[in-house]
Structure 1
């Protein structure tokens, strides 16, 4: 078989399997980066693809680099991350050394997308190990103060409530807060995750509301049910409205969902009297620091850690970042950070997971390079060698910044000798 035909067969296979594959040679250079891996990373353009492939295996604490360095496999590594288009992704990966005749020739990361499975069973925010009342919610922003005020009023009237907003904003916290604020109290708070099997969910709903108890039912992301399924649960809600409290959530404005045929108009009317928008974290960044402070306080109490908070640099990064996954993304990130801590008292930049460091670095690059390197008119055109020198300087300076000025680590990440990088830096300053 001709080599070209064999290459096309390999490419077809790697681009049509369900796992993401990223393979590198012994020097960390990408040789395979398949369609599924690009999908997981949210890469849609050739420029993004090349940028990602060039850097990811060279960063010296990436898992591929670690396997290249140690020749030891990393198996069943689970990661939550938000990709370039703001989607929450959960993967489980094997990162394996590739050897031929006992000699290391590369490494491969094989990532299975388990997002749907994880999100079926994972609440937008983790439980605090105690009843989640409004007093526990640390939000201080005027926007969230309004949300909590409306939620408390809904609890007093025991009316059906529809919560809407982006994934991870804390809609489940508000729902449970309403439950604990009811007077008289209900016996149980039940969450039904509407990403699950539809018939099983309806059967579970029937089972809960037919009991001789008063319960609060929270249907999380009800728009994931079919319109027929939504009508069926609506009938159950109406039949048992006098006995129970019903709360539902959707991920977008309900009117937009109705227009797109994703939300039943009748179900919306059932909840229409109390619709509460839970705003994105990017619209209430003053809630970030109290949430982190509360997280570390609970972490100290549970583990005996000496951690006090974030360094000034990391705090500013957190305040500048847009948090597409909202509070859930922040909490998952803090979980990742604390899982590797020992006796630190402050979280510094080098303690952030590499995927988050690279994400904020990439955003900084994309925000600033557009105006620097795009020629919008004839006046912007300069000689090609001048342009290439500017690109090289900008790229190297940002890589150096990423490694806090450490020349050795930066040189290794860029695939340069230390002396070569020092020569370039000296040339930039001349």
Structure 2
């Protein structure tokens, strides 16, 4: 190996080992080739635990559950797979994984998985949306989409009949707001709305629930994320609820995913699901009702102005477009956290501009930002200094090549065919624009 290649390999090794994402690469036989420090921290394993062993043997899962093995079979990348599991240190971990095939000379030689640990973010997103010290009623829920209007109408009817209700939706969608609004739709008694945050091994929650159920009033009992209770605690919870089925309490529960999937995976007790499912309400994720983003932002800024005296007009045109293009995996809670970060940096600005966005969000926005440019913006931007023709052509070529590569999942052979050039010619052009 010549000196330049040896130095380059040293840099690659250092970058891999110190990356903030987990990296796990295997060959076509499932043998581990790369397993960096971050991946060890996430999964609670060491390189000695996995060296010379197939990943099937290590993790003891079926073939169809492994994205690495799926990629080996299909030779197609898999993006944004969210997984929650117990690692080998007994910690509950949530990750988002991107998995890619590794191709050399048109031959598959392995697969690599890039893992982002979002455990801390997940826990943050499980927190309820801010109450601002006032009761949550249907009138103060800022949602204009047709989907949310249907949710609200169904919730009002369920509150009136006082049948058990199951709220279904991802973390951060505002299920807790719907539950509280249902309570205030039938009563103004603040003290009678009781939330029970369900945790896997919290036996004390059953005692607290028992104490509240024995109170002879019209309480609203909201059991948040019941699938997080262990199955044994779910059975205890069901037994208590059955005892008080004929009481005047309004029973509401929430779950974070499809109930059939949760029951099949052993996370949700079927009988507990049946108890609450007299009325099931699906609260849609924010990515499916983006018309609710602007009203939420406006409401946030109004409340912020009342509390701190800092008034902003709203989002700049650029930021508004970025917010509409973004998928919001953390839903309204993620938007609220982002607005908190932004407002901490506001000085004398009149709008929320791109410059105010936190750096971590800007990184996520890079692909969305480039995709929002219209053809006219790309060709000619009147407010910017004009580029020399050679510089413009180089920028245009880079833009077009990157779009084609994205379309074919960075398969150089297929991209070259689509562009009507040889594989070698395309590789040369890619190297040239990336210098």
Which category describes the TM-score, using the shorter chain as reference length? 0.5 to 0.7
Which consecutive residues of structure 2, in runs of 5 or more, have no partner in the other structure? 1-10, 27-33, 35-78, 85-92, 95-115, 372-401
Q: Is the 8 A contact 1:309 1:347 kept in 2?
A: yes
2:266 counterpart of 1:228: no
1:208 aligned to which of 203, 208, 212: 212
Note the 1:246-261 alignment, pairs <5 A. Answer: 246-261=251-266
Q: Is the 8 A contact 1:217 1:245 kept in 2?
A: yes
Question: Which residue does 2:203 correspond to in 1?
Answer: 199
Q: Is the 8 A contact 2:201 2:230 kept in 1?
A: no
Residue 135 of structure 1 and its aligned partner are, at CA, apart by 0.5
1:376 aligned to which of 414, 423, 426: 414
Question: Which residue does 1:159 correspond to in 2?
Answer: 163
Note the 1:30-109 alignment, pairs <5 A. Answer: 31=14, 34=17, 37-39=20-22, 85=81
Q: Residue 139 of structure 2: SS of its match in structure 1?
A: coil
Note the 1:1-12 alignment, pairs <5 A. Answer: none
Q: Provide Cα deviations, 1:383-415, integer angstroms capped at 9, x if missing partner.
A: 64653434653x6xxxxxxxxxxxxxxxxxxxx
2:128 aligned to which of 102, 124, 138: 124
- Please give the root-mean-square deviation of Cα atoms over the aligned residues, in Å: 3.5
Question: Which residue does 1:20 correspond to in 2?
Answer: none
Question: Which residue does 1:74 correspond to in 2?
Answer: none
Residue 244 of structure 1 and its aligned partner are, at CA, apart by 1.7
Cα distance between partner residues in 2 of 1:190 and 1:181? 15
Cα distance between partner residues in 1 of 2:124 and 2:307? 26
Question: Which residue does 1:332 correspond to in 2?
Answer: 337
Residue 315 of structure 1 and its aligned partner are, at CA, apart by 0.2
What TM-score, normalized to structure 1?
A: 0.64
Change (3 A) 1:45 1:331: farther
2:291 aligned to which of 279, 286, 294: 286
After the TM superposition, which of the residue ranges 156-165 and 29-38 deviates more from structure 2?
A: 29-38
Change (3 A) 1:377 1:213: closer
Q: Provide Cα deviations, 1:312-366, integer angstroms capped at 9, x if missing partner.
A: 0000000011111111111111111011111211111111011111012156689
Q: Provide Cα deviations, 1:142-175, integer angstroms capped at 9, x if missing partner.
A: 1000000010011111111100011111101101
Residue 369 of structure 1 and its aligned partner are, at CA, apart by 3.7
Question: Which residue does 1:66 correspond to in 2?
Answer: none
2:206 counterpart of 1:168: no
Cα distance between partner residues in 2 of 1:295 and 1:133? 16
Cα distance between partner residues in 2 of 1:362 and 1:178? 40
Residue 232 of structure 1 and its aligned partner are, at CA, apart by 1.0
Question: Which residue does 1:16 correspond to in 2?
Answer: none
What TM-score, normalized to structure 2?
A: 0.63
After the TM superposition, which of the residue ranges 213-222 and 163-172 deviates more from structure 2?
A: 213-222
Q: Provide Cα deviations, 1:105-136, integer angstroms capped at 9, x if missing partner.
A: xxxxxx9987299459x523122221011101
Question: Which residue does 1:404 correspond to in 2?
Answer: none
Which structure has more RCO (C-alpha within 8 Å, separation ≥ 6)?
1
Residue 186 of structure 1 and its aligned partner are, at CA, apart by 7.2
Which consecutive residues of structure 1, in runs of 5 or more, have no partner in the other structure? 1-24, 51-82, 91-110, 396-423, 425-430
Question: Which residue does 2:267 correspond to in 1?
Answer: 262
Q: Residue 127 of structure 1: SS of its match in structure 2?
A: coil
Q: Residue 31 of structure 1: SS of its match in structure 2?
A: helix
Cα distance between partner residues in 2 of 1:254 and 1:35? 39
Q: Is the 8 A contact 2:302 2:311 kept in 1?
A: no
- Number of residue pairs the alignment of both structures matches: 311
1:177 aligned to which of 175, 181, 190: 181
Change (3 A) 1:383 1:118: closer
2:243 counterpart of 1:276: no
Change (3 A) 1:176 1:264: same
Q: Is the 8 A contact 1:169 1:278 kept in 2?
A: yes
1:311 aligned to which of 309, 313, 316: 316
Cα distance between partner residues in 1 of 2:349 and 2:25? 40
